[in-house]
Structure 1
Amino acid sequence: MSEEAETERSTVMTYVPAYQKAEWKAHADELGMSQAEYVRTMVQAGRKGFELDSQEADLEGSSPPSDPGGSGLERRVLDALDSADPLSWNELVESLSSNFEDRLEETLESLQNDNRIRYSGREGGYRLVDQ
């Protein structure tokens, strides 16, 4: 792919409920990202999450006790780099961490559904619900 094709930009438009946009904006602000950067990152993370779910299942237990996470991480790095195009540091980090973000989001949603934590934009983040 040419360098010009890699930097060419195109517009994508979507419509979401106002409350969802407000949540996305608040989360983007917390992460120090623009709304466009946030949506781009979340979409890419979601796309890669579909691929990593099955890979992660294959990797569980693959590291020797003397190197916890080592062999599994090596395999994930090699798999991520197994393409015709090189990956930058940020692209590699994103490809390896997207599944964590998906799992964190699912866990936070579950904890909120169980009324154990809540998110408050006004307070700037997640808090335990008083028991």
Structure 2
Amino acid sequence: MSEPDTSRSSVKTYVPTYQKEQWADHAAELGMTQSEFVRTMVQAGRRDFDLDASDENLEAPVEGSNPGGDVLEDRVQEVLHRRGVMSWNQLVEALSGDFESRLEDALDSLQSANRVRYNGREGGYVVTDGE
């Protein structure tokens, strides 16, 4: 069996500015470079966690719990911290604008991979089923 290639190569990604700022701050708190931080996040996300999902091992949800975490709450705080006082409509625009950008990126990626395409006759996006 041959040894794995351990030479280094670069990987680029594009994220919203607020995300890069968050990652840079968190990396600094941990005494890491941004590259080290992103590499560590990716590797942590790729770990294979064995989870026994049998019914007797599942905990009942706690009333008032937030299984999705406080992601939206965190985003609201980020936007308000960065921009200051904002009205309801300004917050909706700021937060939904981010979603629209992410949706556009996701659709671009799916179309590039030929997994989704825009169908004018259908009036929207459709799954290509690997056509």
The TM tier, using the shorter chain, reads 0.3 to 0.5
**TM-score, structure 2 length as denominator?**
0.44
Give TM-score, length-normalised by structure 1.
0.44
- Determine which structure has the larger helix proportion and give its number: 1
Relative contact order (alpha carbons < 8 A, sep ≥ 6): 1 or 2 greater?
1
